[in-house]
């Protein structure tokens, strides 16, 4: 019957959740000494220096403020 079918579906665990330990392809591909030798340079971020990134953001927000001011003044 429908009641027994519903009870059966509620008794079995359909959604078991994620694994208890996470796996990473990068961590599985390299030996641990690679991660111990790595040097993180805060000035170099994804091939772009943070000073260049900061200049870009400064120019971007300056342009946004100019556009806002032009819109308020001229409509």
Q: Delimit the domains of the chain by residue range.
A: 1-74
pTM as predicted: 0.35
Residues 27-46 as b or e (16 or more Cβ within 10 Å = b):
eeeeeeeeeeeeeeeeeeee
* pLDDT tens track for 5-57: 777 767 776 666 666 777 778 777 877 787 788 777 777 766 666 677 788 88
């Amino acid at each position: 019957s429908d009641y027994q079918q519903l009870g059966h579906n509620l008794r079995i665990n359909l959604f078991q959740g994620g694994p208890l330990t996470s796996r990473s392809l990068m961590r599985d591909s390299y030996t641990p000494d690679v991660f111990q030798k790595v040097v993180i340079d805060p000035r170099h971020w994804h091939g772009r220096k943070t000073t260049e990134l900061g200049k870009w953001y400064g120019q971007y927000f300056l342009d946004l403020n100019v556009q806002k001011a032009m819109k308020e003044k001229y409509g």
